[in-house]
Structures are given as C-alpha cells and as structure tokens.
Amino acid sequence: MSKLEKTLLVCPTFNPGDVFNDWLKAFNDQKEKPATALIIDSASDDGFVDIAKKSGFIVDVIDRHQFNHGGTRQKAVDRNEPFDYVIFLTQDAILFDVDSLSNILKPFNDSRVAAVCGRQLPRKKAASIEKHARLYNYSLQSNVKSINDVGDFGLKTAFISNSFAAYRVSVLNEVGGFPENVIFGEDMYVAAKMLNAGYKIAYAADACVYHSHNYSLIQEMK
C-alpha cells in the first residue's frame, strides 16, 4: 500500500484568488494523491468555497476570526479518521512536479523520522531578495537531523515549514500536537518537541513546491 493511501492533506485557505488555478492544476497532476484532501477555509468571500467543492475537495468553513496556525491545523488532524501521515500545504505553495507529494513521504521509511520538510523554490518571476531567501534556507541536499545535531546546527536543527511539510501522526499526537493558540512557528515548536523526544526531522530536497514572497529588505529582517 502506498503511503499516500494512508495520508491526509490539509490546506488552509482565505480568498486565494487566481493562484488556486495553479495550485489545483499542480495537485491534479500528481501521480499519486492522498486518501483525503481537506481544505479549511476562513470564510472566503471571493467564491472560492464553491470552486473548491466542485473540484472534489472536502471543505470545512470556519469563521475567519477562529483561524489559528497551530489550533486550526491540529483540529484538522483530530476531526478526521485516523491517518498514518498528514501533509500540510498553503494556498500559495504550488507543487513543483508530479512526484512532489509522494517524495515528501519517502523519509518516513526510517521509523524514527517524525516530520519531513519539503524544499521551497522561489516562485516564477521572483525578485532577487526572495530568490536569495529560498536558496539560503532550502539546499540541494537532503538530510536528516536528530537532537545530537544541535551543536552543529542550533535552531536550524528544528527547521521546518508548514507551507509544505509532512508529519507522522502517531508522533505528532505523542508530543501533544500543535499548540492551540500561536500566530507563528507552530511547525518548529512541534519539530523541537519531536527532537527532544528522540525522533528525527528530515529535509527532502526532491519534494519541492514553488513558494516565496516579494518582501522588502526590512520585511525580510523582521
């Protein structure tokens, strides 16, 4: 059985606009798709919800004021039937090729790998600063880190991004899941707890999405 047959995909959305056309095409082009694809929408008012439903997704609409990066993601995991893995994508993370979803699950062949971070490439027509941010943080080489690597990598040992990441659900629940009320960093918070519990965090350089932001130098520094 393919790992994707035991996988839940979760994508939070809010008025994604035309970018969803690219997101949907890339998703539909995947060689293998997850057992369940769930969109959690924060009450979009651009007609997106109807489009998502017609495209075959399960859509859970919440009040936009209820959205929380950690709590909303954890509720998605808790509300659904048990899955072995969960993949998180954001509405502006466009799958790079037909194997992006299957490739992000490969590191789970190691039973001690609890989470996997995919590679983020600068979006097409990206400016120089946003290209640098992606090329600096996302290398060409895959790797696996444990708590023993903190001396070499420091905070980067727990580096992960829920714009494109996968988790082993049993371990996610074992460490208490995502924090209920955070505005940022729920992914690295969980990754750090997994490392402290003796598990590993993998980076899959062959599992890619296009995802970057045209921030100014000041915005990047903040």
* Mean per-residue pLDDT, 122-141: 72
Hunting for tokens 């915005």 — which residue is that? Answer: 219
Residue 132 confidence (pLDDT) above 80:
no
**Cβ neighbours for 1, distance < 8 A, ≥ 6 positions apart:** none
User: According to the model, what pLDDT value does residue 112 have?
Assistant: 98
> Token digits for 87?
């993949």
Average of pLDDT values for 35-50? Answer: 92
Q: What is the pTM of this model?
A: 0.92
The pLDDT tens digits for 56-90 are 999 999 888 888 888 889 888 998 888 999 999 99
Q: How confident is the model at residue 185 (pLDDT cuts 50, 70, 90)?
A: confident
- Closest by alpha carbon to 216, among 92, 137, 132, 91? 132
What is the rounded distance in angstroms from the CA atom of residue 37 to the CA atom of residue 141? 29
